[in-house]
Structure 1
């Protein structure tokens, strides 16, 4: 159901009939002498709220981080959909100069210890993160999605985190 609140000429719409939740999380270390995952798990809090918890232990200081991210939509298997990008993680944390990456960053920054500049070493966490549709600037089409992230340290792929999620909007009442 869509609720409208109006303040003069400005109306704000809020959608209650939205399901935006994670369905699976898979973390893999390609090099256990660099990265160890102690935890990579979803926890159901309520029927439509699922929290992600990840503990990644970086065994050496990381000064050079390249993040390779792809968003895929499920349609007879997962197919490339809107985005495939690669960016310098250390540079982004210093400047936050990419609008698309900043959208994702705004979703999880308050749940993460990855909110400081390089180098990264030791335990890095994402704790009790959950998806919130109100943080998205525009709605996405209903469907099942996969966010694949490869973590490249010192020019070598070291780990991957894959998060599966669904977005369903009930359009019957609109």
Structure 2
């Protein structure tokens, strides 16, 4: 069973890689953006970063979704702080991290090509300022987002151990 967290700043490719990886592994993918309550979306749409208090119920909902996927699942979530990742791991033991890493210039270019998303490009600086790179003990698989999606998929699959039966 694979329980995976695709993490990275907004625009890093979580929503692109997640469905590909889910199809390859035969597990569902959920985009964390779909779990935000309307108040969070409104706040981000105004260009205001979320607080930890804003994120707490959202992280609880993500953890509940992951824990409820008996056969495994993948969630695409920024999970910028270690505390957020720890909360998700506590809710879904065995959660494995895949960190979609890339330079701010590449992310900015992707954000500019993504019209209509509620996360404005103006919040990119706050995303990078908040980002706590995974520590060695988090055992994250680091993926270079400069690669095309198919190459990222191959790299992720090669780095993941075989699924363990539940």
Higher RCO (C-alpha 8 Å, min separation 6):
2
Q: TM-score, normalised by structure 2?
A: 0.29
Larger Rg: 1
Q: TM-score, normalised by structure 1?
A: 0.28
